[in-house]
Amino acid sequence: MDQLLFGDNQFFGVNHMSEEKARTQAMRFQNTQAVIEVLDAALKEGIRTFMCTTHDRIAGVCDHLRLNPDRYRDYILYPCMPYAHKYNNAVTELGMLGALQKFLPVGGLLDATVQGGLALVKKDIEGIVRLLIDAEMKMFSGLNTPVIFLQNVVADFLMGLGFKEAFRIFATHVKERYGAEPGFITMNMPRMLDLLEDIGLDNPIICATINKIGFRMCGGIELYEKTLAERKFRPIAMSVLASGAIQPEEAIAYVCKLPNVKAIVFGASSRGNIRQTRALVEQMYLRRTASPSAGGEQGPGNALSASLA
């Protein structure tokens, strides 16, 4: 896993600080080409993993990657599914079962439709979940997707319900059908780790909000730090800037000091900002390795230098 992963919130009008900024970004990135230009800028800075939701517009990015195989031979995508708002709005409009039927494969995939129909009738959740995953993964066909994530809205929702089986089904299907590792995004990291250990997932990949001010770190920052220090899993830090509430230097210094963090996912809209983030991570890593008290071999900057070399 690369140590700096590129996120996609900035492309889809998601800005947790300001709705005005979110709208400005939504306008700028309404053309897929504008998204691709930023991805290319990141690539030039050595950031070659794109962690993206299964938003309809990502399909256009995937088409572009497939059309230019030489340029993107080493490019890595970490799909995060599902894009929850499309389900949320469909449930309001169509009801629970109506929404489910809407997103099960239709059209040319008669077999899948029959399978889906049967699964619905039999209340076979395993069959339904597999079909929903396949529907979300369709746009990534032929591309390199070594880790596939369950989005936090769905992961935390299912965890709250106590629907452990869904996590097992997701993990198994992602491994068997796509040869990928399952990842789980959460705002409740310690509890998520409990659940994943409980269903027998060894050393799971968990992407969680991790930042110096404890924003959206349910269970509290102390428990997060203790969990990072003591338990076996592969954490990825997101929202390290807490939507801009923390200055980049301070934010990245904090995360780089934490034990065991494998990667940082961040979003940016310009090459300058991408370069700044990369430079900060490298600098914090160097500072850390220069300090005799820092024993970590596992900080995010560590392998970053290797992957960027």
Partner 1 sequence: MLRVGIIGVGKMGLSHLSIINSHPSVRVVGLCDATGYLLDVMNRYTGVDVFANYRVLFDQAKPDAVIIATPSRTHGEIARHALERGIHVFVEKPFCLSVGEGQDLVNLAARVKAVNQVGYHYRFVGAFQEAKRLLERGVVAEPHNFRVETYGPVVLRRKGGTWRSNKSEGGGCLYDYASHAVNLVNYLFGMPSGVGGSVIRGVFSKGVDDEVYSTLFFPGGLSGQLCINWSDETHRKMSMRVEVWGKNGKLNADRQECQVYLRSGSFPDLKLAEGWNLRYTTELTKPVRYYVRGEEYSAQIDYFVDCIESGRLENINSFAAALETDVVLEMLQRDAELGPSTTKAMATRVDKRKNGLGQWIRRLGGHDL
What is the binding site for partner 1 (CB under 8 A)? 12-19, 22-23, 26, 85, 88-89, 91-98, 123, 125, 153, 156-163, 165-166, 187-188, 191, 213-218, 220, 242-245
For residue 82, the minimal CB distance to partner 1 (Å) is 14
* Helix segments in the chain, DSSP class H: 19-28, 32-44, 58-67, 84-103, 110-121, 125-137, 152-161, 164-178, 189-198, 221-230, 248-257, 271-290, 300-308
Nearest distance from residue 284's CB to partner 1, in Å?
22
214: left (phi over 0), alpha (psi -120 to 50) or beta: left
Contact 144, 65 (CB under 8 A): no
- The distance between the two most distant Cα atoms of the chain, rounded to a whole number of Å, is 63
Q: Minimum Å distance from CB 236 to partner 1?
A: 17
**Calpha distance 175→181 (Å, rounded):** 6
Number of residues assigned to the chain: 309
Q: Which one, 162 or 200, has the nearer CB to partner 1?
A: 162
CB of 144 to partner 1, least distance (A): 28
**Closer to partner 1 at the Cβ: 33 or 89?**
89
How far is Cα 173 from Cα 181, in angstroms, rounded to an integer?
10
Q: How far is the CB of 246 from partner 1 (least distance, A)?
A: 9
Please identify, using beta-carbon distances, which residue of 25 and 49 lies nearer to partner 1.
Answer: 25
Q: Give the residue with the Cβ less far from partner 1, 91 or 294.
A: 91
CB of 146 vs partner 1, minimal distance in Å = 28
- Closest CB to partner 1 among 73 and 157? 157
Q: Tell me if 242 sits within 8 A of 211, measured CB to CB.
A: yes
- Read off the tokens for 238: 């997101």
**Closest CB to partner 1 among 19 and 63?**
19
Extract the tokens encoding 203: 């050393």
